[in-house]
Structure 1
Amino acid sequence: MDLILWRHADAEPGHEGLADNLRRLTPKGQKQAQKMAYWLDSVLPHNCKILVSPTIRTRETVAALAKLNRQFKIMEELNPEASAEDLLQAAHWPDARESVLLVGHQPTLGEVAARLITPAQSTCAVRKGNVWWITQKERDGEGLRTYLKAIMTPDLVIK
């Protein structure tokens, strides 16, 4: 199974009077989301389940992928206050039969990545707009092993 973590693209800063969940993407963030959606659409398995935090910035990030006819589901369990365990439960990791793309927030995405690929660390720095692709594979009779398959950044996407 593949677990793909996509941090929302660049968003406007929070300030007094603006609820965190209402922050929108900046023009830079819109471009980041479009580039990553283009790349993801070319590499995601056809049956990949896409789960999204309910915040405006994550919904705007995944909207670029939705324009490419990818369906997604908004899940309250992926909100900015969610724990790494909440995200893993939402993805049914490690027992899901299909690949799952989670569109969410730092530091939780970084905590998920660290838990799965670098248990000695408590978190990894997942930058805005970046995708971390984690996979599990059977390895020479040793059972399932977890690997970091790829890290992709919008700056590397040629569109």
Structure 2
Amino acid sequence: MRELILLRHANAEPASPGQADIDRPLSPHGLAEAEAAGRWLVENKLVPDRVLCSPARRARETLEAVLGLTGYVEQRLDERIYEATPGTLVAVVDEHRDLERVLVVGHNPGLERLAALMHSGQSGDYRGMPTSSVVVLSLPMAAPIEPGIARLAAFWWP
């Protein structure tokens, strides 16, 4: 089995007047959430082989806080993750299916719909990933990424 870990970015500050959504930083509460997520990943021995991260500032800051606790691993910013649909996320993840454990740091509704799609085969109106929450999906090692193929191995939130 291999694992796909989905981490929703931590709580972010509201956009300042004229500030682009992609440039919103973490709030102090969000930084604490991200650090808690990093501790949970370490405690559960879920250090990834590679991280795929949205280029949004709040996602990058979440990742930095997490990696400060888990230790640094290979990281790739992928513009497709920002505002991604579940289908786009499936394509992104499938490009890394040769790895045993991949962490995706991104946004809702894409991440929560991807989790539902991978687990149940349907994305629907699933609403279940608060900020800094972690979903761990187990997938057969050689299988392509497709709907309904995963088993929900863990779900955590701060």
**If the length of structure 1 is used for normalisation, what is the TM-score?**
0.82
For 1:24, what is the secondary structure of its paired residue?
coil
Deviation of 1:111 (Å): 1.3
Q: Deviations over 1:2-58 (max 9, x none)?
A: 111100011112354110000111111010001111111333455521111000000
8 Å contact kept, 2:119–2:149: no
Task: State how 1:1-159 maps to structure 2 within 5 Å.
Answer: 1-14=2-15, 16-46=17-47, 48-68=49-69, 69-71=71-73, 72-79=75-82, 81-92=83-94, 95-125=97-127, 126-137=129-140, 145-154=149-158
Q: Which amino acid aligns with 1:76?
A: E
Distance 1:29 1:148 in 2: 25
Distance 2:59 2:111 in 1: 13
Distance 1:145 1:14 in 2: 37
8 Å contact kept, 1:113–1:124: no
RMSD between aligned residues = 2.3
**If the length of structure 2 is used for normalisation, what is the TM-score?**
0.82
Which structure would you say has the larger Rg?
A: 1
Distance 2:58 2:28 in 1: 12
Q: Which amino acid aligns with 1:77?
A: R
For 1:9, what is the secondary structure of its paired residue?
coil
Distance 2:48 2:112 in 1: 25
Q: Deviations over 1:88-115 (max 9, x none)?
A: 2221179433211100000000110111
Distance 1:24 1:151, change over 3 A: same
Q: Which runs of 5+ in 1 are unaligned?
A: 139-143, 155-159
Aligned length: 148
Q: Which amino acid aligns with 1:147?
A: R
